Amino acid sequence: MASCISYQDQFFHVSNQRFYSLIAFGLEAAQRTAQTDAERSFISTLKQSSDAFYPGYDFAIEREFSCRDERKFWARVFFDLAHLIFCREIGNRDVSFWQSSAVGDAYLFGRLITRSVQEEENAWQPKTMASIEADAFQKKGVNVRL
């Protein structure tokens, strides 16, 4: 049995262990980056809700994150989680076999949440750790040597 993460007619399945890891690591990443009382409230709500999650849980984004600001927050968090796993800043740093699939699952989770926001705000994109890093890199310019 696997857990399902869905938004409307789009979904993907993850093992129950991966689902619990995504939620736990997501909460950890959220704690690191929360800046407002509202964001800390979103963390508290998910933490309380996660006590009721069970093997085979169907995590419907539209049900779990009903308000747009909450979905914006969690979209950023799950993209940041993918970045943190990639940079070996979260999770088991001693081995790497799990990281590529975990990065993909966290990224896909963030992408589904982003899609839910974009249905209300077409051009919205989260300001993530990776996008901030990319902006800084682009501002430096590209030094090409021939």
Q: Tell me, what's the pLDDT at 7?
A: 97
Mean pLDDT estimate for the chain: 94
Percent of the chain at pLDDT > 90 equals 86
User: In the chain, where are the structural domains located?
Assistant: 2-130
- pLDDT of 146 over the 70 cut: no
Question: What confidence tens digit (pLDDT) does each residue in 87-125 have?
Answer: 999 988 888 899 999 999 999 999 999 999 999 999 999
* DSSP per-residue codes, 10-68: EEEEEEHHHHHHHHHHHHHHHHHH--SHHHHHHHHHHHHHHTT--TT-EEEHHHHS-SH
Residue 74: its H or E element: helix 68-86
Question: What confidence tens digit (pLDDT) does each residue in 57-67 have?
Answer: 999 999 999 99
- The two tokens of residue 30 are 């959220």
Q: Tell me, what's the pLDDT at 142?
A: 67
Helix (H, G, I), strand (E, B) or coil at 7: strand
Residue the block writes with tokens 């990281």: 99
Q: Tell me, what's the pLDDT at 139?
A: 86
